Amino acid sequence: MKQIIEVSKQTQELQVPIITTPKRSVVLKALKKDWQLYSLLVLPIIYLVIFKYIPMIGNIIAFRRFMPGGNIFGEEWVGFRYIQMFIGDATFWHVFKNTLIMSSLTLLVCFPAPIIIALLLNEVQSKKFKKFVQTASYLPHFLSIVIISGMILQLTASNGALNSLIEFFGGKPILFMQDANWFRPIYVGSEAWQTMGWGAILYLAALTNIDESLYEAAKMDGANRWKQTIHITIPGILPTIITLLILNIGSIMAVGFEKVLLLYNPLNYETSDVISTYLYRVGLQSSNFSYATAIGLFESIIGLILVYSTNFLSKKYTDNGLW
Amino acid sequence: MKETKSYKVFKVVNVIILLLVVYITLFPFLNVVAQSFSGRAQIEAGQVTLIPKGFNVLTYKTILHDKTFWTSYRNTIVYTVVATFISIVMTTMFAYVLSKKRLIGRKFFTSLAIFTMFFNGGLIPNYILIKTLGMTNTIWAMVIPGAISIFNMLIMKSFFEGMPEELEEAASIDGSTTYGTLVRIILPLSKPILATMVLFYAVGNWNSWFGAFLYLDKSNMFPVTLYLRNLLAGATSGQSAGATAADDLTQIGANIKAVTMVLTVLPILMVYPFVQKYFVSGIMLGSVKQ
């Protein structure tokens, strides 16, 4: 979902698909003139249909009985059986709650972090030092989530660096990954570690667009750097902040599935298990395909509603939106 | 106006904070590297933080002689090259056509693509599809499902839209076909964006593991990320080809994960300083244009 942020500007020109079917002769004419151009679309459209739209329609098995090896759209209608199943499933509501807590905490910590980094970097005069900090802080963005998880596991191990630090200060070692209370701090902390540097890029770009003359004028009026930051810098990047905030709220249901899957274990399921990992276990480990699809569909629909409504609010109040 | 005293203090504090950020960012890497070169006793005693203690390269030697490791490394390279090639061809075709403003149906096709960013099939329907298509345990499961990233396609589209139309008009007057114009005129002028796209896709493919985890059963097909994941999860012990003595085995057990992490991340670390700016410019292109 994060990727959407960056293309937000581009998609603005696009309206929600209101297709006015052109007259047949017009289409034929266009095809005749531009058939070479259209021919380049054939493979990408086939790709979209097979690998994006068929799975989308495949969600229909949330309402149909599915037999492994049978029809991918299921065998027969069963109505809302699987929907009722998860509504009555205590584990589902437990992982639903976990998802909301984890994503809210992530938003709370990981959203402001890049803004602060960008503001601090903005006060650095030495170009070389700025570049050095940026280069170093982008690094985690380029690593496989498997490596990131490996590092987290190593740092939090019983003989890892974190415990060495605790013991150095006279504390008792903690078995981080075996204690459900520690999963959220570890997840959110490592998320901030991984995203803060890269996330600052868009804010830094917005900062360079602020009119220099505003600062000159403020200096004339005797405003110190702190006042300049409050009255010029922050208002200058506010549209970026609001757009990104709304987008982040729109994707609040999306918790880093792969990371949780790599890090969690039965000892911390109580706090670590989220909707996506639960549906993974239900679907692919216990082969309850229809039930897992029903859960997944519920999650996607909430996500879609959130994106649409936050975008609506964003357009209403900030003139900024995805489309 | 002169800088106030408090601003001078702030500047010093600021540098310290930012250095701390750098330290925190790099610490886990340095810690893994230090562990990978350390002795078992020192690792188990929790003495290794940034400097290797009880210097030791036995684990490196063992892993570098391990056939399974090299097989998975080769697999990663093959998947990355093939997948990136397919992605570049598909993305370029798609982005080029959608960048043509006169094209009838352009809006429809673009919306068709963008909608998939907001709503997708989800884990299970995708899994069923790949299984039904018979792609499991083939390279196709690794290189086809992610062929087009709509995000990348939109970046490329906006790059193409920024090109002067006269170029193509001139070419078509000279009798060049659409294909000819694309290959001989547009693409040579698009090297920066092509470089960015190659990097986006290549790094994504190099780092991915979940597709392999879902769709591959044969360990001789695993990419190195999955090899590492299985090692971390304790699913494999890491075949220790050369080592026979019990002492050696415990040494290897103590830092095999660290060594494998270092070896997996090495190629990325080596190219990272040189390619990082292309990533940044790609992100900018995606957000600033228009």
pLDDT (tens digit per residue) in A269-317: 999 999 999 999 999 998 899 999 999 999 999 988 888 888 888 778 7
> Which residue shows structure tokens 């093959």?
B78
- Three-class SS of residue A60? helix
Q: How far apart are the first and last CA of chain A?
A: 15
Question: Would an 8 Å CB–CB cutoff place B129 in contact with chain A?
Answer: yes
Is the minimum CB–CB distance between B268 and chain A shorter than 8 Å? yes
Do the chains contact at B14 and A120, CB–CB below 8 Å? yes
A17 in contact with B, Cβ within 8 Å = yes
CB-facing half-sphere around the CA of B227: CA atoms within 13 A: 28
Q: How far is B207 from chain A (nearest CA, A)?
A: 4
Query: Which residue in the set B6, B26, B47 is minimally distant from A136, CB to CB?
Result: B26
Instruction: Give A77's DSSP letter.
Output: E
The pLDDT confidence band at residue B253, using thresholds 50, 70 and 90, is confident
- Taking a C-beta distance cutoff of 8 angstroms, is the pair B84, B197 a contact? no
Distances (CA, A) of A21 to A17, A30, A32, A64, A191: 11, 13, 18, 34, 46
pLDDT at B180 over 50: yes
**Helix ranges restricted to H, A209-288:** 212-220, 225-228, 234-250, 257-263, 269-272, 275-280
Q: Is residue A276 part of a domain?
A: yes
H/E segment holding residue A103: helix A90-110
The band of A243, judged by pLDDT with boundaries at 50, 70 and 90, is confident
Please tell me the predicted confidence (pLDDT) of residue A224: 84
The shortest C-alpha distance from A10 to chain B (Å) reads: 7
How far apart, in whole angstroms, are the C-alpha atoms of residue B186 and residue B203? 25
Reading the block at residue B171, the tokens are 């070419």
Residue A185 lies in a domain: yes
B183 touches A: beta carbon within 8 Å: no
Q: What's the whole-number mean pLDDT along residues B220-225?
A: 95
Of B260, B91, B279, B137, nearest to B203 by C-alpha is B279
Q: What is the ipTM of this complex?
A: 0.88
Number of domains in chain A: 1
Q: Tens digit of pLDDT for each residue in B128-176?
A: 999 999 999 999 999 999 999 998 999 899 889 888 888 888 887 887 8
B280 contacts in chain A (CB < 8 Å): 138, 201
> Rounded mean pLDDT of A52-78?
90
- Find, in chain A, the residue whose alpha carbon is nearest to that of B128: A72
When CB atoms are compared, the residue of B18, B120, B225 closest to A120 is: B18
| Three-state SS at A182 | helix
Q: Is residue A38 part of a domain?
A: no
CATH of the domain at A185: 1.10.3720.10
Amino acid found at B145 = P
CB of B100 within 8 Å of any CB in chain A? yes
Query: CB-hemisphere CA count at 13 Å for B67?
Result: 3
A111-120, B18-27, B57-66: least confidently modelled range: B57-66
Range of weakest confidence among A11-15, A145-149, B97-101, B164-168: A11-15
Judge whether A132 is closer than 8 Å to chain B, CB to CB.
Answer: yes
Task: Check if B175 contacts A (Cβ < 8 Å).
Answer: no
pLDDT band at B6 (very low <50, low <70, confident <90, very high): confident
Which domains does chain B possess? 1-56 (no CATH), 58-290 (1.10.3720.10)
Residue A160 contacts residue A81 (beta carbons within 8 Å): no
Neighbours of A146 (CB within 10 A): 29
Whether the CA torsion B117, B120, B126, B130 is positive or negative: it is negative
Residues of chain A contacting B18 with CB distance shorter than 8 Å: 120-121, 124, 129, 133
Query: Which pLDDT belongs to residue A13?
Result: 44
- A224 to B112: CB separation less than 8 angstroms, yes or no: no
Q: Does B90 touch chain A (CB under 8 A)?
A: yes
Distances (CA, A) of A133 to A119, B81, B196, B234: 13, 31, 22, 36
DSSP assignment of B156-210: HHHHHHTS-HHHHHHHHHTT--HHHIIIIIIHHHTHHHHHHHHHHHHHHHHH--H
DSSP state of A23: P
Please, are residues A100 and A282 in contact by the beta-carbon 8 Å criterion? Answer: no
Nearest to A133 among B22, B265, B284 (CB): B22
- Give the distance from residue B290's alpha carbon to the nearest chain A alpha carbon, in angstroms: 7
What does the alpha-carbon distance between residue B71 and residue B222 come to, in Å, rounded to a whole number?
A: 8
Range in A201-215, A238-252, B180-194, B255-269 the model is least confident about: A238-252
Cα dist from A28 to A31, A37, B199, whole Å: 5, 14, 39
> Do residue B7 and residue A225 have CB atoms under 8 angstroms apart?
yes
56-75 in chain B: CB under 8 A from chain A: none
Q: How confident is the model at residue B34 (pLDDT cuts 50, 70, 90)?
A: very high
- The three-class DSSP label of residue A124 is coil
CB contact under 8 A, B111 and A16: yes
A67 part of a folded domain? no
Provide the domain limits for residue A217: 2-22+86-318
Amino acid sitting at position A105: L
Residue A68 is assigned to a structural domain of this protein? no
Which of B128, B136, B203, B264 to mutate to probe the A interface, most A CBs <10 Å?
B128
- Of B254 and A94, the one with more pLDDT: A94
Any bridge partners for residue A64, and if so which?
A77
- CB pairs A-B closer than 8 Å: 299
The pair of structure tokens assigned to A212 is 């220099």
Q: Which amino acid is at A297?
A: L
Q: Do A133 and B24 touch (CB under 8 A)?
A: no
Give a yes or no: residue A314 inside a domain.
yes
Helical segments of chain B, H only: 5-36, 40-44, 58-64, 67-98, 106-118, 123-132, 140-143, 150-161, 165-173, 178-180, 187-189, 191-207, 210-215, 224-232, 246-288
Is residue A66 a part of any domain in this protein?
no
Q: Which of B124, B126, B232 to mutate to test the interface with A (most CBs of A within 10 A)?
A: B124
A20 touches chain B (CB under 8 A): no
Helix and strand numbers (H, E) in chain A are 18, 2
Mean pLDDT of all residues belonging to chain A: 86
Inter-CA distances, B149 with B83, B114, B197, B200, B264, Å: 12, 10, 10, 10, 24
Neighbouring-strand partners of residue A77 = A64
> In whole angstroms, what separates CA A91 from the centre of its chain?
24
